[in-house]
Amino acid sequence: MSTTVAPRRRKAGTGTLIDGVPRPGRVENVVKTIVLTIACALVILPFVGIISTSLAPAEQVNTAGGFVLLPEGIDLTAYASILTGGVVTRALLISAGVTAVGTVLSLTLTAMLGWALSRRQTIGNRQLLLLVLVSLLFNPGIIPSYLVVQQLGMLDTLWAIIVPTSVSAFNVIVVRAFFVGLPQEVMDSARIDGAGEWKLFWYMGLPLARPVLAVVGLFYGVGYWNAFFNAMLYLSDSALWPLQLVLRTYVVDGTQLGAQDLGAEMSLPPQTTIQMAILVISIIPILIVYPFLQRHFAKGMLTGAVKG
């Protein structure tokens, strides 16, 4: 910061420019600090409250009337009660399974299609590319999508929340852009050495594309983990519910979770504590992958989009 009293107009060449912009004044810095601190607090504080309440001992939660900002001790009863069987445990396993299977399937289909579309001289390449691009422009609608899933006999199976969303046209385009950008000399030399298409894809394309596939995979994974509406639309059998639906029923709608729902034989902690614990276990996977996402997304997604 400049130490002198800030003049209203600055002349260039006085050393006060950063990249052509005059240095900010003191008032501006104070205001910006306050605004950004509040913004960050608005994001962080709810999480602190939720995690604290989920860990707080029952007496503290009851005296506080439902919410605590700092737990007086660590009490894991709420987690024990939801993770030892019953609806939440089942939903957690379903969500984890759907996310794992879905992400693998999505990545496989996306990498294969992205690679194929990057071979621009193959027959039908333009038509296939157009088919994928045009699909970005429209959404078939809730009812037509439902009818297709119904016709395929996928209603009330977990495939209904995996297969319809398994190929994201946008991700295909990002992966294709990456393959198009690869140095073609390497491919040519491999081809001259007698490598066929599958070998090229498997031994050259896939290993080289690992960074972009990592990003795309993380986005798919987050998508499957967070999917809510498709599950609600296609799964009427509550035994198949993923975590997001359980979250809606017991946390958003506030349906009471009884001992019989949890298969727990202990006396249950307060409902708020259980609700917060469910919320925490649904947020934790996102928090775990977030640093990886963050390291890659700006780079991966933007280069993909710009190169396009």
SS3 category, 155: coil
Give the residue carrying structure tokens 């016709």: 151
23, 80, 195, 214: which one binds other proteins (CB under 8 A): 23
- Cβ contacts of residue 220 below 8 Å, gap of 6+? 102, 103, 106, 107, 110, 168, 171
Q: Which stretch in 75-83, 111-119, 206-214, 257-265 sits in contact with other proteins by CB under 8 A? A: 111-119
Interface with other proteins (CB under 8 A), residue total 115
* DSSP-H helix ranges across 184-255: 184-192, 197-199, 206-208, 210-226, 229-234, 243-247
Q: Determine contact, residues 76/285, Cβ cutoff 8 Å.
A: no
Does position 302 bind other proteins by CB under 8 A?
yes
Long-range contact set of residues 295-303: C-beta below 8 Å, sequence gap at least 24 = 296/211, 296/214, 296/215, 296/218, 297/215, 297/219, 300/174, 300/211, 300/212, 300/214, 300/215, 300/216, 301/174, 301/215, 303/177
Q: Which is nearer to other proteins, 97 or 248 (CB)?
A: 248
Asked if residues 106 and 213 have their Cβ atoms less than 8 Å apart, the reply is: no
Q: What letter does residue 251 receive in the DSSP assignment?
A: I
Q: Does 142 bind other proteins (CB under 8 A)?
A: yes
By CB under 8 A, the residues from 148 to 167 that bind other proteins are 148, 150, 152, 163-164, 166-167
Please state the closest distance from residue 265 (CB atom) to other proteins, in A.
27
Q: Does 30 bind other proteins (CB under 8 A)?
A: no
Per the CB < 8 A criterion, the answer to whether 285 and 225 are in contact is yes
Contact between 290 and other proteins by CB under 8 A: the answer reads yes
Contact between 19 and other proteins per CB under 8 A: yes
Q: How far is the CB of 267 from other proteins (least distance, A)?
A: 21
Dihedral sign computed on CA atoms, order 71, 89, 248, 62? negative
Nearer to other proteins, 46 or 153 (CB): 46
296 binds other proteins (CB under 8 A): no
Task: Rank residues 94 and 276 by Cβ distance to other proteins and give the closer one.
Answer: 276
Would you count residue 184 as binding other proteins (CB under 8 A)? yes
Looking at residues 228 to 247 of the shown chain, list those that interact with other proteins (rule: CB under 8 A).
228-229, 233, 244, 247
Residue list 246-285, contact with other proteins (CB under 8 A): 247-248, 251-253, 272, 275-276, 279, 282-283
Q: 80 vs 195, which CB is nearer to other proteins?
A: 195
Pick one of 26, 30, 34, 44: the residue that binds other proteins (CB under 8 A). Answer: 44
Residues 57-96 that bind other proteins (CB under 8 A): 64-67, 69
Helices and strands (H and E) in the chain: how many: 15, 2
Rounded to whole angstroms, the Cα distance separating 56 from 76 reads 8
Residue 185 interacts with other proteins (CB under 8 A): yes or no: yes
How far from 281 is each of 91, 153, 172, CA to CA, in Å?
11, 32, 31
With beta carbons less than 8 A apart as the criterion, state whether 138 and 199 touch: no
The least distance separating other proteins from the CB of residue 114, rounded to whole angstroms, comes to: 8
Residues in region 190-229 near other proteins by CB under 8 A: 191-192, 196-198, 201, 222, 225-229
